[in-house]
Amino acid sequence: MNILLTGGAGYIGACTSLFILKLNPNFKCIIIDKEETQNIKKLQILFPNNIKFYKIDMCRMDLLETVFNDTKVDGVIHFAAYTIVSESEKETYKYFHNNINSTLNLLELMKKYAVSNLIFSSSASVYGVAEYLPIDEDHPLKPVSTYAISKKICEDLILKYSERGINYVILRYFNPAGAIDGIGEEHNPETHLIPLLIRSMLEGNIFKIFGNDFPTPDGTCIRDFIHIEDLANAHFLSLRKLLGEEIKNEIFNVGINNGYSVMEVVLKAIEMFKGKVNKNFRYIIDSRREGDVPALVAKANKIKNKLGFYPKYTIEDIL
C-alpha cells in the first residue's frame, strides 16, 4: 500500500508517517516536501525501505506529476501548507498562492491518475470567532486570518472535486502538541505555545503571552490541545476506513473536548517543572497577535462515533 503524504517532512506529517509505519510495516510512505528536515532523516533511518522522499514545490504541476508517474498511489494525506497565522496576515499572497495552488494541483492530478482517497489537514481556525462552545462540525465557517481563509478555500475545492470521484475525509484539528519517539516540532521560527514555553523555562528566557484582554475568564486565549500521537491516530483511522470503503466524504473535528487558557498552561507547566525552571525565566504580557481568536474548543463526538477515535493523552502528558 502506497500512501502519499504532502508536507510529510513537517511536524504532523512526519509523526503520522511514523505512526502508520509502526502499525503497518508493509506500507510505503511517499513524502513530498519543500524542505528535507531532521524529521525526514530520522524516518529514513528508522524505515529505510518504506520511505521515498521527493523535495519539490507542489505549486509546480510538472514536478508534482513526476510523483504520480513514478508510483501507484493508493491514498493521499495532504498536510502541505504554510501555517503561521500571524505571518499570513503580513504575507497574504504567499499563503494564498502556496496553500490554494498546491491543493488545486494535487486534486487535478488525483483526478487524472484515478487516485480516489484523500485526507485533508484542515484547521479549527476555519470556524473563526466561536459563536458557541464547544464547537461542532456544523458551526458556521467564518475564518478570520489569511491562513484560515486559505484552509476554507481548500475545503471548498475538495468538496467540488468530490463530484469528480475523490472521496475525502477533512480533519479540522485544534492545537497539536507533543512528540512521538523523538520526532516532534521542528518549526523555524517556532511559534507554537508549548515548545516556546518549555524552551523559555529551561533556558531562562522571557516568555510572551500575546494578549490578556480576550473575552475569556482570565483574558488569555483558550485552546484545545491534542497530543500529536492522538492526532496521528486520527489520520490512520480515517485512512483505514477510507481504503476499506467504510466511510467517504466526512468532516471531523479532532480535539479532546476540553480547553485550557494560555495562562493556565503556563502556570501548570511551572508547577510540573518545579526545580527545573531556570531562575531567569519569567513571563510577560504582550499585545495580541493578528488573526488570533479568543477561544477554540472542540466538540469531537462525531469522530468518536464514526471512527472509534478516543484521545489517550492529557495536557499533562503533552507538557
Q: Which one is catalytic: 11, 147, 173, 260?
A: 147
Radius of gyration of the chain (CA): 19
- Strand-by-strand arrangement of the 75-78 sheet: 51-55, 28-33, 2-6, 75-78, 117-123, 167-173, 250-254
Which residue from 253, 261, 259, 195 is spatially nearest to 224, judged by alpha carbons?
259
Provide the strand spans (E) within 44-192: 51-55, 75-78, 117-123, 167-173, 175-177
Q: Which amino acid is at 280?
A: N
Give the largest CA-CA distance in the chain. Answer: 59
Hey, how many other C-beta atoms are within 10 angstroms of the C-beta on 260?
Answer: 22
In the chain, the amino acid numbered 274 is K
- Mapped onto helix, strand or coil, the DSSP state of residue 73 is coil
The CA distances from residue 306 to 41, 149, 167, 253, 303, in Å, are: 35, 27, 16, 12, 5
Residue 3, beta-bridge partner list: 29, 75
> What cell does 213 get?
484582554
Give the single-character DSSP code of 9: T
173 is catalytic: no
Cα-flanking dihedrals φ and ψ of residue 316, to 5°? -65, -40
Contact 144, 293 (CB under 8 A): yes
Rounded distance between C-alpha atoms, residue 95 and residue 92, angstroms: 5
Residue with cell 509546480: 60
Decide: 218 and 263 in contact? Cβ < 8 Å. Answer: yes
Active site residues: 147
